[in-house]
Amino acid sequence: PTLWDLTALYNSISVTEVLVHAQPPHRQFMPLES
């Protein structure tokens, strides 16, 4: 893998972790249930 691939992978993981911590799955589905 190239440095660009590793950077893109790291960025995608970081973004995913931020979104998961900011909006847990149960909070995302609550508006649909209520």
pLDDT of residue 29: 55
pLDDT of residue 3: 92
State the pTM of this model.
Answer: 0.42
**Contacts of residue 9, Cβ cutoff 8 Å, sequence gap at least 6:** 1
pLDDT of residue 34: 47
pLDDT tens for 1-34 read 799 999 999 888 888 887 776 665 565 555 555 4
